[in-house]
Structure 1
Amino acid sequence: MKIWISDTQTATHRLVRLNCEEHSDYKYLGDLNNNELSDFILSLKDDIDIEKNIKLIKYYGYLHLFIIHKN
């Protein structure tokens, strides 16, 4: 699956937007298979539900992950 990414980080949170279609402000992440996509999502947050998020991006064509930094 071809994935484009927009990644915004602040002191309090990180917003990662993944999309299956090209967008002008997104960077091309690559043509990822399920294992590569799982590894990438897991690298963002180690306790995230991988299967659910892969199903969501396949169904909707995009996925937004809002990750709150713990102090």
Structure 2
Amino acid sequence: MQLWLYKEQTPTYLTVKLHCEEHSSYTYVGDLNEEEIKKLLLQFDPTIDTQKNLKLLSYYGYLHLFILNK
């Protein structure tokens, strides 16, 4: 699956937006398989449910994550 990534980080949270279609302000990540996408998601939050979020990304074509810094 081809992915484009937008990431914004502040002292209190991290916003990650993944899209399967090209967006001008997003960075191209590459053509990733399921395992590579799961590893990418775990880099942002080690407690994330990778299977559920991978299904959402596949179904909708995008995934927005809002992760609070601990």
Match of 1:53 in 2: 53
Q: Which amino acid aligns with 1:57?
A: L
The alignment partner of 1:40 has SS state of helix
Match of 2:29 in 1: 29
CA–CA distance in 2 between the matches of 1:44 and 1:7?
10
Once superposed, which parts of structure 1, at least 4 consecutive aligned residues long, lie more than 3 Å away?
none
Q: Which amino acid aligns with 2:30?
A: G
- Cα RMSD (Å) of the superposition? 0.4
How far is the alpha carbon of 1:43 from its aligned partner?
A: 1.0
Q: TM-score, normalised by structure 1?
A: 0.97
Match of 1:9 in 2: 9
Q: TM-score, normalised by structure 2?
A: 0.98
Percent identity of equivalent pairs: 51
* Structure 1 portions without partners, runs of 5+: none
